[in-house]
Structure 1
């Protein structure tokens, strides 16, 4: 997420992590979206590592689908003062954040649990003003957008506009000095039934704050990776593997094309691995050529060629070795997935 060690113990982080992850099915039938691994670590793990590094001590995690697994992961790996709040109805991000109103006071940092963000976040937290992370995009109609005024202060926020007047998208990280003002705005949109696209939007509540005179700055973000579908998950995996540049010990009969991540207790033989492959713990791979893919824990893969693939935990994929008697000047083209 970027930044260096600082102490922000007076900030409470809110992490919405209740999404169903429909675009990542079948993986999210058995695993919450925020726990899907990229480059050897669950998405949520990168967010929590960042919060821990900057000294945030209290977090509120909004859970829903397979929430017990999220709770188990957080409690097993981190020592935050953590409160888990169950979201039973999916009525929008604003509705989800409002569920935390009785447990959050003062300064708050909201980070979406399925999004990885890098930028000068620490610096902006130190400066103390309200801010929202933004990035220019080619398809702003898919996102909440901001219209900036003088010196980067936001004049207007619009959720998923049909005819965008700005290409500066809200990326899923928000900082507010006074969370009570936010909760008052959220209460207002819920009581008045103010919905956009059928949902209570955080964007609409923040717009009310601006209309009441609260100043919120638009902060450009360097890197933004939404891990909500397979294509973006693999894109994030590529970026993180490039960034990590892990050293991999030589494995007999295996060609490693970096960057690659290989977990513990793996059995790999007669394979070409990489580039851009993440392999989880306890995986068994034999006679496989694989690139640009994520292989999750305890899966077994044999006798296949994989590209642009995500293989779930405990999955088994075994094909039969092919025997081909190919004469001189012959040509065979095996079908390839783009």
Structure 2
């Protein structure tokens, strides 16, 4: 199974962290975002991942190649022209007669996947309270998808598209993407995958909704911390540090030093970080960061950052220093 993962976005809402670390490589609950993404669909049997990256995104390719045994290819999206355009960049890497999975590079989900031999075309969805923020699907009486709409001003469905798709006919997908690009069909200024899917439906494409159990957002610092909290509740391991107290759930990577501190709940700490005389809750601390003499909550501290003093809530990028004497 080939999987296309668009990861060319700039992650502007997670700055300053995405100035130095691509969004898919930011850590949450002990793993890079893209690891959560890939591992959520491993049961489909991944043969090859095709990453759609920006010119600055080669670190993502290197990371995935080093982490996983399957073949990893990549193509560039030179301009940010929309999700449909990003997927179209991978056209030459997919055979016309094969199926392809598309999953967004920041879509962390929990879902019961169909068996590979039984898979049908699908769009993964979840019911939401405000469909105006998302692409949505409309179903017929038999539960098949008959319409897709990108961020409707007046919603006709509450089934949001979460960013996971299976297309059994790659040729039809790429023909439809090419059509909207050549004819400059844009929604909200971009070439949208939903517009290509609408054309596919008009040409007889049949697909069903795949309902996901959980869908976690990583788009902002507050959303990332909430996702960290939810994932830690499911996957944490209890760890003790002499002279300090840990309130679970938390995640601690290797080589961490913690002295005279109260950690937790909902804290992730990266490898070789050093914490002393600190009270930390609901936060993510990057690898090799140093935090001392402080009380913080709801904070995101980048790798190799240094933080000291009396603060309550901090958003500190990689290699940065913040001290209050």
Interval containing the TM-score (normalised by the shorter chain): over 0.9
Report what 2:251 is aligned to: 261
Count of residues paired in the alignment: 312
Q: Which structure 2 residues correspond to residues 287-326 of structure 1 after superposition, within 5 A? A: 287-319=277-309
Shift of 1:56: 1.1
Secondary structure of the residue that 2:114 maps to in structure 1?
helix
Report what 2:169 is aligned to: 178
Unaligned runs of 5+ in 1: 1-10, 321-333
Quote the Cα distance in structure 2 between the aligned partners of 1:274 and 1:66.
35
Quote the Cα distance in structure 1 between the aligned partners of 2:291 and 2:312.
19
Report what 2:58 is aligned to: 68
Would the alpha carbon gap of residues 335 and 88 (structure 1) be closer, same or farther in structure 2, given more than 3 Å must change?
closer
Quote the Cα distance in structure 2 between the aligned partners of 1:178 and 1:284.
51
Report what 2:156 is aligned to: 165
Deviations 1:68-116 (CA, angstroms, capped at 9, x unpaired)? 2101211211121111111111000000000011111211010101110
Would the alpha carbon gap of residues 217 and 335 (structure 1) be closer, same or farther in structure 2, given more than 3 Å must change?
closer
Quote the Cα distance in structure 2 between the aligned partners of 1:215 and 1:137.
23
Matched, 1:44 2:34: yes
Quote the Cα distance in structure 2 between the aligned partners of 1:232 and 1:304.
23
Quote the Cα distance in structure 2 between the aligned partners of 1:206 and 1:173.
13
Q: Give the alignment partner of residue 267 of structure 2, picking from 250, 256, 277.
A: 277
2:99–2:170 Cα contact (<8 Å) kept: yes
Report what 1:156 is aligned to: 147
Q: Give TM-score, length-normalised by structure 1.
A: 0.89
Q: Which structure 2 residues correspond to residues 177-196 of structure 1 after superposition, within 5 A? A: 177-196=168-187
2:13–2:219 Cα contact (<8 Å) kept: yes
Q: Which structure 2 residues correspond to residues 121-136 of structure 1 after superposition, within 5 A? A: 121-123=113-115, 125-136=116-127
Secondary structure of the residue that 1:122 maps to in structure 2?
coil
Shift of 1:122: 3.2
Report what 1:56 is aligned to: 46
Structure with greater Cα Rg: 1
Quote the Cα distance in structure 1 between the aligned partners of 2:312 and 2:31.
32
2:40–2:110 Cα contact (<8 Å) kept: no
Shift of 1:213: 0.9
Quote the Cα distance in structure 2 between the aligned partners of 1:153 and 1:73.
38
1:132–1:170 Cα contact (<8 Å) kept: yes
Report what 1:112 is aligned to: 104
Q: Give TM-score, length-normalised by structure 2.
A: 0.92
**Aligned-residue CA RMSD in angstroms?**
1.6
2:124–2:211 Cα contact (<8 Å) kept: yes
Quote the Cα distance in structure 2 between the aligned partners of 1:247 and 1:122.
33
Matched, 1:102 2:75: no
Out of 20-29 and 135-144, give the one that drifted further.
135-144
Quote the Cα distance in structure 1 between the aligned partners of 2:33 and 2:143.
30
Secondary structure of the residue that 1:210 maps to in structure 2?
helix
Quote the Cα distance in structure 2 between the aligned partners of 1:281 and 1:152.
47
Shift of 1:247: 2.6
